[in-house]
């Protein structure tokens, strides 16, 4: 296990790459869901306002 983590002496270059990738992959999921949810919330507000006015 320690040998695996050492990555043949390249640990300080290899693991940051994987951590950065996990961060970008995770953040993109979060941003995409947030973007959809905010658009849906805005649409709901708009529809409610139209219905209240009519």
Supply the minimum distance, in Å, between the C-beta of residue 2 and other proteins: 13
CB of 19 to other proteins, least distance (A): 10
Min separation Cβ 41 and other proteins, Å: 8
Residue closest to 42 by CA, chosen among 34, 52, 32: 34
Q: Report the interface residues with other proteins, using CB under 8 A.
A: 4, 7-10, 13-14, 16-18, 20-21, 24-25, 27-29, 31-33, 35-44, 46-48, 51-52
CA–CA gap between residue 27 and residue 37 (Å, rounded): 15
Alpha helices in 1-54 (DSSP H): 2-6, 11-53
């Amino acid at each position: 296990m320690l040998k695996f983590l050492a990555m043949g002496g390249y640990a300080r270059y290899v693991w940051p790459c994987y951590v950065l990738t996990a961060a970008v992959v995770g953040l993109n999921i979060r941003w995409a869901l947030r973007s959809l949810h905010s658009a849906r919330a805005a649409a709901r507000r708009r529809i409610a306002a139209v219905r209240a006015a009519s």
